[in-house]
């Protein structure tokens, strides 16, 4: 490559001005979503916490993301016997979801996604458009009317299941090989 060609490339790059987006409100919303999620989990574990069979504490995780900016989010640490399980946020900028938090144990990881309450699989959340032509899915998708935390099965054939007390306790057993 010639220097002239590279110089021209550099000039073109200088002309490209990235658009800025204020992520602060979205990050605040994400932290609120996480707080609601953790409160729900605490309600599922209340009896066990009250009887000392499970311990729950909170910490923070630092996110370093050049497009969103550096920020911190709350993590939950659950102790059951000799097992330590973490509820760790993954991010707020997830395709088809408003956020993701993983349940990480010694034997497995389970994903929780904040998605449209009506959705049971990812393809219901994403619309593909190529040159103005709609390709997937066939029905027109609208913005979610209500968001809900759901358990997501592993890819490639991901499905969403309701997050209930029973499904969360099953998830705890799965990640600890119980």
Give the pLDDT confidence of 56-88 residue by residue, as tens digits.
Answer: 999 999 988 777 878 899 999 999 999 999 999
Cα-atom radius of gyration of the chain, to the nearest Å?
Answer: 21
Name residue, tokens 């994400």: 30
Q: Are 55 and 62 in contact (CB under 8 A)?
A: no
What's the token pair of residue 152? 């997501």
**How do residues 20-35 score in pLDDT, each as one tens digit?**
778 889 899 999 999 9
CA 132 to chain centre: 29
Question: What is the torsion angle, in degrees rounded to the nearest 10, for the CA atoms of residue 87, residue 91, residue 115 and residue 32?
Answer: 70
Q: Which residues of 103-134 are buried (b: 16+ CB within 10 A; e: fewer)?
A: bebeeeebbbbbbbeebeebebbebeeeeeee
Greatest alpha-carbon pair distance for the chain in Å reads 73
Question: Considering the entire predicted model, what is its pTM?
Answer: 0.78
Domain range summary for the chain, segments of one domain joined by +: 22-175
């Amino acid at each position: 490559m010639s220097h002239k060609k590279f110089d021209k490339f550099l000039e073109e790059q200088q002309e490209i001005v990235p658009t800025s987006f204020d992520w602060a409100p979205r990050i605040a919303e994400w932290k609120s979503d996480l707080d609601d999620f953790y409160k729900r989990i605490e309600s599922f574990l209340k009896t066990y916490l009250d009887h000392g069979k499970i311990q729950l504490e909170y910490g923070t995780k630092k996110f370093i993301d050049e497009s969103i900016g550096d920020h911190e989010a709350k993590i939950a640490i659950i102790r059951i016997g000799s097992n330590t399980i973490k509820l760790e946020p993954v991010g707020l900028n997830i395709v088809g979801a408003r956020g993701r938090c993983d349940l990480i144990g010694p034997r497995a990881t389970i994903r929780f996604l904040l998605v449209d309450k009506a959705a049971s699989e990812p393809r219901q959340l994403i619309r593909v458009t190529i040159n103005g032509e709609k390709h997937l899915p066939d029905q027109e998708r609208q913005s979610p009317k209500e968001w809900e935390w759901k358990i997501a099965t592993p890819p490639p054939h991901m499905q969403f299941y309701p997050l209930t007390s029973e499904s969360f306790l099953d998830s705890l057993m799965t990640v600890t090989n119980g």
